[in-house]
């Protein structure tokens, strides 16, 4: 038995993947969908977990369990720019006074908004734009119709000691219920926007509507938000003001660091309960 992306794969299932690999025209994308179909690997809303499967297959390939066909795009495009989008995201919007009570937090749904979100993050967030795998929601925040901020929520971290101690769950419970935690992977207020209490107000608005949006898209409701704030670059003041809780620091290891190299920046860990009984739900067997 081997485990990837929160799922155990039996020797029989690994053998099935080996049988599928020689099928004519079996590229990596088609293989991940076929594996999901054969193994019944689906989300609560019935859709295939093909992105998680693709990550799992890549890790199997790296571990020598299987040999994947060559990728169609050896160097995947991390970000593609468009001249009219670049111009739009680099021109400061003039908003003399921001009314915090009139802000709108809108899910990214259209292709145009998706390109804008990507471009704002690429040009103005210190981490830049990288595709978020798996379940996710992105938001654009507007004041008087002008975009002033962007947020992105996606899959939670697989293991985080301070968070897991706070919850008190077992390894089996974590593996089963981890999708109920959503990670705030990106938060950007455009550099030319300055308004007291804006960041905490945006976080509060996003936390208020995210459970319903997640339910509508993925057919289940998360019960806890998490985020990681890089130290000493940021202090997490806006999360504290929005009633998030600091539960400790990371150990400076990346998601796939099995050699304990501690090559990543230390980050403070913040969580925000979306349900009062979040511990009971996360510890449900």
DSSP structure string for 62-105: HTTS--PPPPSSSS--S----HHHHHHHHS----SS--GGG-EE
| Per-residue pLDDT at 76 exceeds 80 | no
Topology (CATH) of 83-282: Aminopeptidase (3.40.630)
* More confidently predicted of 27 and 260: 27
Measure the CA–CA gap between 184 and 154, rounded to whole angstroms.
7
CA angle 119, 124, 129 (to 5 degrees): 50
Per-residue confidence band for 14, with pLDDT thresholds at 50, 70 and 90: very high
| Per-residue pLDDT at 137 exceeds 60 | yes
Per-residue confidence band for 133, with pLDDT thresholds at 50, 70 and 90: confident
Strand, helix or coil at 245? strand
Measure the CA–CA gap between 125 and 93, rounded to whole angstroms.
17
| Per-residue pLDDT at 229 exceeds 80 | yes
Q: What is the pLDDT of residue 262?
A: 54
Per-residue confidence band for 75, with pLDDT thresholds at 50, 70 and 90: low
Residue with tokens 């130290």: 231
Q: What is the pLDDT of residue 254?
A: 59
| Per-residue pLDDT at 263 exceeds 80 | no
The CATH 3.40.630.30 domain(s) of the chain lie at 83-282
**Of residues 195, 276, 180, 278, the one with CA closest to residue 238:** 195
Strand, helix or coil at 267? strand
Quick: pLDDT tens for 34-69.
999 999 999 888 889 988 899 899 999 999 999 999
Lowest mean pLDDT of 66-80, 134-148, 171-185, name the range: 66-80
* More confidently predicted of 181 and 253: 181
Q: Share the mean pLDDT of the chain.
A: 91
Taking residues 100-129, what's their average pLDDT?
95
* More confidently predicted of 73 and 127: 127
The two beta strands, 224-230 and 181-189, are parallel
Lowest mean pLDDT of 50-59, 165-174, 175-184, 237-246, name the range: 50-59
| Per-residue pLDDT at 73 exceeds 80 | no
| Per-residue pLDDT at 83 exceeds 70 | yes
Q: What is the pLDDT of residue 71?
A: 84
Measure the CA–CA gap between 204 and 181, rounded to whole angstroms.
17
- Percent of the chain whose predicted confidence (pLDDT) is above 90: 72
Q: What is the pLDDT of residue 253?
A: 67
pTM for the complete prediction?
A: 0.81
Per-residue confidence band for 80, with pLDDT thresholds at 50, 70 and 90: confident
Q: What is the pLDDT of residue 227?
A: 98
């Amino acid at each position: 038995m081997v485990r990837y992306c929160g799922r155990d794969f039996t020797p029989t299932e690994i053998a099935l993947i080996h049988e599928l690999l020689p099928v004519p025209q079996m590229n990596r994308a088609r293989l991940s969908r076929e594996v999901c179909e054969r193994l019944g690997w689906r989300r609560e809303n019935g859709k295939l977990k093909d992105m998680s499967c693709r990550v799992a297959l890549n890790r199997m390939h790296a571990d020598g369990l299987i040999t994947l066909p060559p990728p169609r795009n050896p160097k995947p495009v991390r970000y593609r720019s468009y001249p009219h989008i670049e111009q739009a995201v680099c021109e400061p919007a003039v908003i003399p006074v921001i009314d915090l009570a009139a802000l709108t937090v809108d899910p990214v749904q259209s292709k145009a908004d998706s390109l804008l979100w990507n471009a704002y993050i690429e040009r103005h967030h210190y981490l830049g734009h990288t595709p978020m795998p798996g379940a996710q929601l992105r938001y654009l925040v507007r004041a008087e119709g002008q975009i002033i901020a962007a947020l992105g929520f996606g899959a939670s971290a697989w293991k985080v000691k301070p968070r897991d101690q706070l919850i008190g769950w077992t390894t089996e419970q974590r593996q089963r219920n981890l999708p109920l935690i959503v990670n705030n992977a990106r938060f950007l207020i455009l550099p030319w926007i300055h308004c007291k209490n804006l960041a905490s107000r945006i976080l509060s608005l996003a936390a208020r509507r995210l459970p319903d949006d997640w339910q509508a898209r993925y057919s289940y409701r998360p019960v806890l938000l998490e985020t990681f704030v890089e130290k000493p670059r940021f202090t997490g003041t806006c999360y504290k003001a929005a009633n998030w809780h600091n539960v400790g620091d990371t150990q400076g290891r990346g998601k796939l660091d099995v050699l304990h190299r501690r090559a990543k920046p230390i980050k403070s860990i913040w969580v925000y309960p979306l349900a009062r009984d979040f511990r009971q739900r996360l510890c449900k067997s």
